[in-house]
Every structure is written in C-alpha cells, then in structure tokens.
Structure 1
Amino acid sequence: MTTQALPTLFVPHGAGPCFFMDWEPADTWARMERWLRSVPELVGARPKAVLVVSGHWEAPELTLNAQEQPPLLYDYSGFPPHTYQLRYPAPGSSELAARVQALLQASGQGAELDHDRGLDHGVFIPLKLIYPNADVPVVQLSLKRDLDPAYHLAAGRALTSLRREGVLIVGTGMSYHNMR
C-alpha cells in the first residue's frame, strides 16, 4: 500500500489525434502537448496503473475494459491515414478492473466488465504523451449513460481508496470539439 495518495487529474485530450498531425501554425497544439508531457512530474510518483474516464464512453451501467492487452478504438473520422496507425500497446489490468468493480458494487452501484471494447482516443491520445513508453497498465471506466451527477460523484467517492494503492485516476475531455 502506498501511504501518499496520488492526485486525481482531469486532462485535455485534444481534438482527435491532434498532437500527431501537422498544423498551420505548426505550434497550434504545442502548449497543451508540453503540459501533458509534464504530467508525470506533476504526479510525482510513478503509478502502478492508470484508471481513465473518458467522455467518449457511455454505457447503461458503469463499465470497465478488462482486457490484458486492450486494443485501440479509433473513434474519430476525417483525419490523415497515418492517424489510424497510431499505436499505444499499454497493458490492461483485469485485476484493477475487478478491484474497481468490487469497490463500485460495495458502494451500491452496478459495474460491468467488458472484454471487447478498446481504449478510445480520449484515453490513448493523452497517454501517448503522458506515458509514451506505454508501460503503465491502463483501465478505462465508462460513464453511466444517464450522466446523473450525483451518481458519478458517488462513484468517485467509492474509488478514492485506489489513490493510496498507487492508482492514478484521470478524467479526460475538452470543453469544445470544434477544431475550426
């Protein structure tokens, strides 16, 4: 058990694969990219695993991807062909997925395991910058489709002990998705 709790972060994931494209001007996403690359220093300790909630996955119940080698879900369109070849071979963690499921169920919330869905771009795009070696296990947690704030806040409270167990909890998103 870790004695010091890791922080909980909300990080931008950019627009689609924006950090891996050419832009005019060339530094369009440079500031955000630099900040994402600084996250390990901000966190201060290397996490045992990362639990990520991306706004790009909503399910009837909170759901976790539980593969040992999660595939990528290229859930963007209209980008250059090379952006569909991006790789992020981080391991998953069925152990962490089961732990999260147990914590959520103990708090009275439903939680399902999914063995098929890949990591969406809200997960793999920022993590390619934060942990570029893809050597930290990653588990993605969906939102519950009804988006009830009280329910999601209770889920967050149920998971807070993970922070002392070496799990970095990260939410990703953007306040807009219009790249024009």
Structure 2
Amino acid sequence: MQPVLFLSHGGGPLPLLDDPEHAELLLTYALIRHKLDGLQPLPSALLFISAHWETKEPTLTAAAQPSLLFDYYGFPPQSYQLRYPAPGAPGLAASLAEQLAAGGWTTHLDAERGLDHGVFVPGMLLFPRADIPCLQLSLLDSLDAAAHLELGHALRALRDENVLIIGSGFSFHNMRAFFDPVTNQEASLNLAFENWLESSLRIDDEQLRENSLANWKQAPGAAFCHPREEHLLPIHVCAAAAGKPVTQEWRFTALNRHGSCYWWD
C-alpha cells in the first residue's frame, strides 16, 4: 500500500530558483525525498490533486505525454523554460474515471491540459528522474470541504493499486499577507491555524476527524490563513483518501509564514 502525501508547494516556481525565502521548504522537501526514496515498492504512478485546477466535476489529465502549464506571471525567463518530461497515465485516468463514475461521480478526461506548477514544481524536487507516470485530478469549483472529503474516499482504493496520492497546495495561503510585514497578531493567527490543522489530522476517530476538517472555517485563524480555500482543500482529499490519522508532519517557514507538509502511512 502506498502512503498519502500533502505538500505545501511554495510560491510559484520560486523553490526551483534558489529563493532564500524557500530555504526551509527545500530542506523539508529533502527530508521527504529521502523518505520517498525508501518506499518499497516504488509507486507505479503519481496522482496529484493541485490547488491550481478547479472544475465543476472531477476531471483528470489524460495526455500520454503531458505538457507543462506555466500558470504564473512575472517571474524570470528561466521559469518558463522548465521541463518535466514525466509520462502521463491515460490508462489509469480512464480506469479511475470509471471507478469514480461507479461511485456516482460525473467525471471527465482532459487530454489537452498540461500539468500546472502545483505538480511539476514538487515533481522536479521529489521525483527528478521524471520516470514515474503523473496525472492530475481537479478540485471541485464548489470549494465545498465535505465534497472534497467524499472525493478523497473515492480515491482510497488507489493506495492498494500502487498509486501515490499527493495533495499539492499550501497550509497557509493569504496572498496579501505574503507580501506584508509580519505582525505579532498575524503570526499568532498563522500558528494557531497550523496547530489546529495538525490536531485535527491526528484525531483517531475518523468521523470526528472529518467533521473537524469539514468545519475548518471555525478554526482559529481560518479566515486570515485561507481567505479562499483552494490551497487547503487538497488536505481534505488526502486525509479522506488515507482514512487514518496523519503519521508525520514537517513544519517550515516560507515567505515569512508558517507552513506544513503531511504524510500518512
């Protein structure tokens, strides 16, 4: 059985550009890569749920050789010349679409869309050989937490099919705050939400754990840390796909804010 992984992926391509404000994130990724390198067996495919793709109904990339989608702006020219030639997984995409349909989901395949930076940035850092097939599953544009927990339930069987499920977002994502000076009050809200998130993910009882995640807007600091929820929801998918409390957490500071990555055995 493959684990489940949630990654805070940093600011656009900055983790690939030796940005000093991502130094701790890169150290965290080095630890995660070491853990991934020890997996036996290695995953036969990677399923990414990225914060940067929202559709009305679940949609899967289905290209045999997916391109890259440079969905960021204003970065150095080399940011738009990156390559991550991992193969796609159209067969797995079709199979997963059938599984989701059997569970009542209306699902679509997209053979044109490339992998966005929520996929290829962590992919380049954690799987640099680009030899494991990658596909991407969209978030639901309803941004409903309970619906994303249900989506995670529908993915749970993939773990037994040797597929590594990876949520890619950011445990803190307030774009304005990234560029503002850090105040004591904001730092306190940031840390309070990180503590709440870890505590919720470690709840033993599955129903209580998922109830806490479904009601995340009631958490301390929630409105400040996530004015919009798309970077948080991949955690919901991961937690439900794992079906158990989180096993390991890594904390770091990036762009002067606290963030986390999570692993479920």
State TM-score, norm by structure 1: 0.90
Matched residue, 1:110: 106
The count of residues paired between Structure 1 and Structure 2 equals: 176
Change (3 A) 1:169 1:24: closer
Matched residue, 2:27: 31
Report how far residue 90 of structure 1 moved: 0.3
Matched residue, 2:128: 132
- Give, in whole Å, the separation in 2 of the partners of 1:159 and 1:26: 31
Pick the structure with more helix per residue: 2
Change (3 A) 1:34 1:112: same
- Give, in whole Å, the separation in 2 of the partners of 1:11 and 1:44: 21
Report how far residue 41 of structure 1 moved: 3.4
Corresponding position: 1:83 with 2:79: yes
- Give, in whole Å, the separation in 2 of the partners of 1:129 and 1:82: 16
% same residue: 46
Alignment of 1:64-75 (within 5 A): 64-75=60-71
Match of 1:148 among 115, 137, 144: 144
Corresponding position: 1:15 with 2:29: no
The alignment's C-alpha RMSD in Å is 1.9
Larger Rg: 2
Structure 2 residues not aligned, in runs of 5+? 179-254, 257-265
Secondary structure of the equivalent of 1:88? coil
CA contact (8 A) 1:74 1:121 kept: yes
- Give, in whole Å, the separation in 2 of the partners of 1:104 and 1:31: 36
Matched residue, 1:164: 160
Matched residue, 1:56: 52
